[in-house]
Amino acid sequence: MLRGNRELWLAFLAMLIVAGIYALVFFMTREIPPAYELFGHSIGILGFILMLMTETLYSLRKRSRSVRWGRMSTWLQMHIFMGLVGPFMVLLHTSWKFNGLAGVTTLLTVIIVFSGFIGRYIFTRIPRTMDGLEIEGTLSQEALKQARRLMALWHTIHIPIGMALFVSAFVHVGAALYYATFLK
């Protein structure tokens, strides 16, 4: 079960550090760091890697029944941390330009982060053990059924948007490599 907001505070701290580095680059160069230069590419790549890790590692752990790689609550905290810091870095990578496929990808990123906050809220309303398993009998059965239905509905929205986000992100990366790197 999520106890406190440690992952949110750590994500906020990490974003402050990244924002400080971004501001330092801005003041040194006297311009918003372009997405296509070293710093812009680096922050975008690191952010995208965090987002990929957010999706793949948590999903693998969640579906793994035979191997226990730590508590689910820890993995969920890591999912939330990387799911905030990664998109923040990708947002900075945009150089505040939201045109074409990159703009659509950014919009999907904002939607998925917002959806994640909703999912976290719903998730914390279901009583769980330290390992993340639902506790039966502490709420009335009707309230528990309603929370499970909300969580299932949320999953049917959050997961397809996440898939669309990663498809568009991979197309963006492929196009950027092709047009900016391979054609030069």
Of 90, 13, 79, 109, the C-alpha closest to 46 is: 90
1 pLDDT exceeds 50? no
**Whether 7 contacts 81, CB under 8 Å:** yes
> How far is the C-alpha of 162 from the C-alpha of 115, rounded, in Å?
10
Q: For residues 167-180, give the mean pLDDT.
A: 87
pLDDT single digits (tens) 19-50: 999 999 999 999 999 888 889 889 999 999 99
The confidence score (pLDDT) of residue 138 equals 54
Q: For residues 115-130, give the mean pLDDT.
A: 74
The confidence score (pLDDT) of residue 43 equals 94
pTM comes to 0.79
Q: Match 């659509």 to its residue by tokens.
A: 104
Q: Where are the domains of the chain?
A: 6-182
